[in-house]
Amino acid sequence: MSRLARYSSSALQLRKLYIATLSFPSSFSTTAPHPSPPPIHVGLTECAGRGVFASRRISAGELIHTAQPIVSHPSLSSLHTVCYFCLRKLPSLQASQTVSFCSTQCEQQSKVTFLTIHSSIHTVQPVNITGWNKNTSSASIVWKEGMQGLKYPLLVKRMACQVISGAVSSDVLDILQPEISSSDRISKMKKEVALLKNTFVDSDIGSEQMAFLTEEWYAGVLARIRINAFRIEFAVGPYEDLLSLAAASVEAEAAVGNAVYVLPSLYNHDCDPNVNIVWVENVDAKVKALRDIEEGEELRICYIDASMDYKARQRILYEGFGFHCNCPRCVSKD
Ligand SMILES: [Zn+2]
Ligand SMILES: [Zn+2]
């Protein structure tokens, strides 16, 4: 999320980013064959760095755009109940001790983009690009034990797999704001990088294929994932209502995973947001207007639970995202 004003970016970068993010395919476009481009543009705000602005009037309840993740991963507790690729809930019959896919399309996509899978353990094995790895490698077990329960390293690992397979470039997340890492965390990371490299070596990934996998790369990706990852919780309710109701908070189930997006991360925060992001059936993020928005108005989401009081919001935003919120609601100490 582009929450800090420190980030500087040239107009050219913004333009490239705008074109790149808006040209992502989306599941929304499969239901509407020729959708017009989303009514938004990325620009600079007065004091919060980049932001997303309405390029025309947007009505309350309008689905502004859908975004597909750069990287996503099921939570460990949902590993056997959601699609390993798109996080869609699996029919209970299909849920098993192995990771599964909701469709052959998702299975194919995962082979192409993160070359993974191992059927008998909780974390994902990187495998040889040419096929499915049938053996549990010792290095993978070590990696798994070192990382168990840590959602962000799982995202970094999948990201590394995507880079090795050529699905994304190693600098794809550079556009996002990083968290400032503590020295503590950096020394812990060295161990994680070494373990991750070992799992790839065990899977016959050549050193030139993982030349990108340096401590700097790992630290940079992790720092971006830490403050840009969204917790995926499916909204509960009839599909049409979820898309059309201008409700600020929708009832949600427990988190099924985490994902990082480009465009949704560019929305700044407001404790009284005019848009929100919902997940209805899979990892695709749907950005909806909560009220009527005028052309040129900045679109803002709420990064935290908006029902908290002023002091709690200020503390969580500062600790989690590194800024003091000066939104109109906070200025009035509401
Ligand atoms: Zn799927
Ligand atoms: Zn605020």
CATH code for the domain defined by 11-67+231-305? 2.170.270.10
What ranges do the domains of the chain cover?
11-67+231-305, 71-228
Calpha distance 329→304 (Å, rounded): 14
Question: Does 216 score more than 70 pLDDT?
Answer: yes
Q: Cα(306) to centroid of ligand 2, in Å?
A: 9
Calpha distance 243→252 (Å, rounded): 14
The confidence band for 98, taking pLDDT boundaries of 50, 70 and 90, is confident
pLDDT for 111 equals: 83
Q: Which residue has the tokens 């549990």?
A: 136
- Mean pLDDT check: name the lowest of 86-100, 141-155, 240-254: 240-254
Q: Cα(83) to centroid of ligand 1, in Å?
A: 5
Q: What is the pLDDT of residues 29-51, one digit of tens each?
A: 344 455 678 999 999 998 888 99
- Contact (CB, 8 A) for 53 and 274: no
Question: Does 24 score more than 80 pLDDT?
Answer: no
Calpha distance 190→188 (Å, rounded): 5
The confidence band for 316, taking pLDDT boundaries of 50, 70 and 90, is very high
Q: What is the pLDDT of residues 58-88, one digit of tens each?
A: 999 999 999 999 999 998 888 888 999 999 9
Counting ligands in written order, the one closest to the CA of 84 is 1
Question: How is residue 17 annotated by DSSP?
Answer: H
Question: Does 1 score more than 50 pLDDT?
Answer: no
Calpha distance 174→171 (Å, rounded): 5
Q: Cα(90) to centroid of ligand 1, in Å?
A: 9
Counting ligands in written order, the one closest to the CA of 82 is 1
The confidence band for 135, taking pLDDT boundaries of 50, 70 and 90, is very low
Question: Does 304 score more than 50 pLDDT?
Answer: yes
Alpha-carbon Rg for the chain in angstroms: 20
Q: Cα(325) to centroid of ligand 2, in Å?
A: 4
